[in-house]
Chains A and B, each alone.
Chain A
Amino acid sequence: MTVSQLSVPTRPRTWPRVAVVVGVIVAITVLTTLPALGGVNIDLGAIARNWGNGSERIGKLFPPDPSILPRTWKPLLETLEMALVGTAIAALLALPLSQWAARPTNPSRSRIVVRGVLNVIRAVPDLVYATILVAMVGVGALPGVITLVLFDLGIVVKLVSEAIDSADASYMEAGRAAGGTQTQINRVTAQPQTWPVFASQVLYSLELNVRISSILGLVGAGGLGRLIDEVRGFYRYGALSMIIIEILVVVIAIEIASNVLRKRLR
């Protein structure tokens, strides 16, 4: 058989779609890099001009200056405490909220309201909350904890309620057939059923919280961030790098611990 005898179906043309995608990406990139429109001015010249004294300062990051360490212990403790308390409060609130936000555990329309409110909460970045809350209630740990609670609620409720939505919920029908109220069904069966997802998301939010709460102090909300702001103001780059290393060690330690815990949950 020769090739000409084969009836080959015409090859679907994918290149127009690829071209459109590439075109859109290029267009948005051009729009976002036009300084006249408020876009990012990719000014490589500035880097060249600032390289001299800038690189000298960055060079001062090494070696890290351990003399700052004794001053870091208290703010570090505060950072960890804020992260922990924020996660705990958020977990307590997220348990009922994620059931209210998922279809199987809340067939009524109130689900949409809960989801809407949480979408709004999630749309505001963490440090924006902190900035505003500091202006409202004053400098300290309180605005930090509230910020973390709001941030955690956003992600935990979203992820857990989505997990409830996509999981098999046939046990709901049995609870209904037995004459149970939705609350009873949620408490006795849905809660243990979603516990692993819930616990895993809470641990994840604890990891993120340590990372966030270490910088909340930059806007006055307590923890290591205040110290970062101070050493940065005095161009103490050795001290800055020491603090960064400290954050790094703590964040990675928490990440490892939470990974170990998460494996045991399964």
Chain B
Amino acid sequence: MDTTAHGPEAATPASGPWPIRLTDVTVRYPNGVVGLRGVSLAIEAGEMVSVVGLSGSGKSTLVRTVNGLVPVTSGTVQVGPYRVDQLRGRRLRHVRGSIGMIFQGFNLADRASVYHNVLVGRFSHTPTWKTLLGLTSREDREMVMSALDSVGMLEKVWGRAGALSGGQKQRVAIARALSQEPQVMLADEPVASLDPPTAHAVMSDLRRVNTERDLTVLVNLHLMDLARQYTTRMIGLRDGELVYDGPASSATDADFEAIYGRPIQTRDTLGQ
């Protein structure tokens, strides 16, 4: 595997997507459950990759190792110029600032305004004391507004996040991630709580993020048709092990059956 181009010594690129390299990553949770078993993976800068598997297959664990939300037990995680598995505290937060993430449950503070929820994306660029005193720079405000604008949610900026529909919430969450000006975008089952038309809209947004903003995108999906339609490359996980790695569009039903470890069922596709 060729990792020399992005060793720890490489300078931070001013912009442009980051590659992601996982080498022999194992995650064992404190309660003994094994999330990942020796997963090695190389994602090139600017790729749009889906991670497919049943629930409990380690998908969520995999994306969370990329930004250090889940610490790895062994192995290395290289994101752009950084070894995420070795970082802690302030430096880990700094790297997380360059990695956007959206979640299945949107993870918005329902009682806070849309504005404040998106402002969360500016945390890593803002000193804590400024946030504490409620001082927001004009640059941060602009960033929040243009992020909301790019997902078509500018009108709702002063509304409560909890008053939005599911699709709108996920768009605000995408805006939150975009306001970080990230190099990498992670998505953990971003459409699992949405109805089919909204799911397609959110997946389109993610693809737009990938092409227009030129970000590396890693998205967890449990629906095979979405993986085929929106991503270029597919990773299959089963019981924490990497069982498939190849182009998404040409993945056959047999490939999916191999990943799932069972025949394909209707609930494995979204339809429409």
Q: CB atoms of A and B under 8 A apart anywhere in the complex?
A: yes
Given A179-B180, A184-B126, A188-B120, are A170 and B103 neighbors across the interface (CB < 8 Å)? yes
Of the candidates A170, A177, A183, A196, the one having the most CB atoms from chain B within 10 angstroms of its own CB is A177
Whether B120 lies near A189 (C-beta < 8 A) is yes
User: Which of A176, A184, A195 lies in contact with B111, CB distance below 8 A?
Assistant: A195
- CB proximity to A under 8 Å, residues B86-116: 92-101, 103, 105, 107-113, 116
Q: Could you mark each residue 167-178 of chain A with 1 if its beta carbon is under 8 Å from any beta carbon of chain B, else 0?
A: 000110111111
Asked if A57 is at the interface of the complex by the 8 Å CB criterion, the answer is: no
Known contacts A180-B124, A193-B112; A187/B96 CB under 8 A: no
User: A196 CA to B105 CA in the complex, in Å?
Assistant: 22
Any A CB within 8 A of the CB of B80 = no
User: Is A181's CB within 8 Å of the partner chain B?
Assistant: yes
In contact, A170 and B105 (Cβ under 8 angstroms): yes
Q: Which residues of B contact A187 (CB under 8 A)?
A: 131-132, 134
Is residue B123 contacting chain A, with contact meaning CB distance below 8 A? Answer: yes
Q: Are B124 and A177 in contact (CB under 8 A)?
A: no
Supposing A184-B128, A192-B116 touch, asked if A171 and B101 sit within 8 A by C-beta, the answer is no
Interface contact B177-A179, CB-CB below 8 Å? no
Q: Contacts A184-B123, A188-B131 hold; do A178 and B110 have CB atoms under 8 A apart?
A: no
Given contacts A179-B93, A180-B93, A188-B112, whether A174 and B132 have CB atoms under 8 Å apart is no
Known: A179-B123, A179-B180. A190 touches B132 (CB 8 A): no
A141 interface contact, C-beta 8 A: no
Q: Is A185 an interface residue (CB 8 A)?
A: yes
Q: How far is the CA of A208 from the CA of B40 in the complex (A)?
A: 61
Q: Contact: B67 with A177, CB < 8 Å?
A: yes
Query: Which of A173, A180, A185 lies in contact with B103, CB distance below 8 A?
Result: A173
A178 CB to closest chain B CB (Å) equals 5
State whether the Cβ of B69 lies closer than 8 Å to any Cβ in chain A: yes
Instruction: Choose among B93, B100, B107, B186 the residue that contacts A181 (Cβ–Cβ < 8 A).
Output: B93
Interchain CA distance A170-B113 in the complex, whole Å: 16
User: Are A185 and B123 neighbours in the complex by a CB distance under 8 Å?
Assistant: yes
Inter-chain contact A173/B110, CB cutoff 8 Å: no
CB <8 Å contact, B126 and A170: no
Residue of B nearest to A183 (CB): B128
Q: Does B167 contact A (CB under 8 A)?
A: no
User: Which one of A171, A181, A193, A195 contacts B123 once the chains associate, using CB atoms below 8 Å?
Assistant: A181
Whether the Cβ atoms of A178 and B121 lie closer than 8 Å is yes
Which of chain B's residues have a CB closer than 8 A to the CB of A183? 128, 131-132
Q: Report yes or no: B116 in contact with A179, Cβ–Cβ below 8 A.
A: no
Chain A residues whose C-beta falls within 8 Å of the C-beta of B186 in the assembled complex? 177
Residue among B116, B134, B173, B180 with most chain A CB within 10 A? B116
**Is the pair B101, A177 in contact by a Cβ cutoff of 8 Å?**
yes
Interface string of B168-183 (1 = CB under 8 A from A): 0000010011001000
For A185, the chain B residues whose CB sits under 8 A away are 120, 123
- Give the contacts of A179-234 with B (CB-CB under 8 A): 179-181, 183-185, 187-190, 192-193, 195-196
Q: Per-residue 0/1 for B113-146: is the Cβ within 8 Å of any A Cβ (1 yes, 0 no)?
A: 1001101110110101001101000000000000
Q: Does A177 contact B94, Cβ atoms closer than 8 Å?
A: no
Minimum distance in angstroms from A169 CB to a CB of chain B: 9
B103 touches A176 (CB 8 A): no
CB distance from B160 to the nearest CB of A (A): 9
The answer to whether B93 and A189 touch across the interface, beta carbons within 8 angstroms, is no
Produce 1/0 per residue, A145-184, CB < 8 A to B: 0000000000000000000000000110111111111011
Using A174-B173, A188-B123, A196-B111 as known contacts, list a sample of 14 further A-B pairs with CB atoms less than 8 Å apart, ordered by residue number in A.
Answer: A170-B103, A170-B105, A173-B69, A178-B100, A178-B101, A179-B95, A181-B128, A184-B120, A184-B126, A188-B109, A189-B112, A189-B117, A189-B120, A193-B111
10 interchain residue pairs of minimum CB distance:
A179-B124, A180-B123, A179-B96, A179-B97, A189-B109, A174-B107, A192-B112, A177-B101, A179-B93, A171-B109
Can you pick out 12 interface pairs between chain A and chain B where the beta carbons lie within 8 Å of each other?
Answer: A175-B123, A177-B186, A178-B101, A178-B176, A178-B177, A183-B132, A185-B123, A187-B132, A189-B116, A190-B109, A192-B113, A193-B109
Residues of B within 8 A of A (CB): 67, 69, 92-101, 103, 105, 107-113, 116-117, 119-121, 123-124, 126, 128, 131-132, 134, 173, 176-177, 180, 186
